[in-house]
Amino acid sequence: MDKLIHSFSYGLFFWMVIVLVVIIFLLGKFAWKPIVDALDEREKGIASALEAAEKAKLEMARLTNENEQLLKEARAERDVILKEAKELKDKIVAEAKTQAQTEGAKLIAQAKIEINEQKNKALAEVKNQVSSLSLDIARKVLNKEFEDQGKQEALVADLLNDVKLN
């Protein structure tokens, strides 16, 4: 066994070199080209994927900028709408206050008129009652005074004297 390990055979070496050259030739003819083509395809795929990723990154940046712009516009529009709504609310409140004041003034004026009418009616009624009571009292006083015939004649004479004096 020792002999096999230390002995070198030129014939075996020759055939091994020929087999190696044939294998390299066959691999070069049939295997290396597809392997190299596959590696080239893989490299091209990776390059196109990197390019697509860069395009996607740029597109995302553009979309982000557009979204930020849209958000700014939406906020500005929201602010305008809120301002208009506040102005409309203030206007409606002011109109309601004005209308309430006008209605209040009308009601107060109507109440004053009604109070004056009621006061005048009450005064007229009091006057009527006072005059009616005064007439009743005068009638009773005169009836009492004129029960006596002498007093009636004295009163008539007194009245005639007054008329002559004037």
Q: Kindly report, residue by residue over 20-78, the tens digit of the pLDDT.
A: 999 988 888 888 888 888 899 999 999 999 999 999 999 999 999 999 999 999 999 99
Q: Looking at residue 131, what is its pLDDT?
A: 79
pTM of the model: 0.41
Q: Percent helix, strand, coil in the chain (nearest 5)?
A: 95, 0, 5
Q: Looking at residue 36, what is its pLDDT?
A: 84
Contact 133, 127 (CB under 8 A): no
Cβ partners under 8 Å of residue 152, min gap 6: 145, 146
Return d(Cα 55, Cα 47) in angstroms, integer. Answer: 12
Stretch 116-141: mean pLDDT: 83
Q: Looking at residue 147, what is its pLDDT?
A: 72
Return d(Cα 147, Cα 4) in angstroms, integer. Answer: 189
Stretch 93-109: mean pLDDT: 92
Assess whether pLDDT exceeds 70 at residue 137: yes
Return d(Cα 51, Cα 45) in angstroms, integer. Answer: 10
Stretch 71-87: mean pLDDT: 94
Q: Looking at residue 133, what is its pLDDT?
A: 78
Assess whether pLDDT exceeds 70 at residue 103: yes
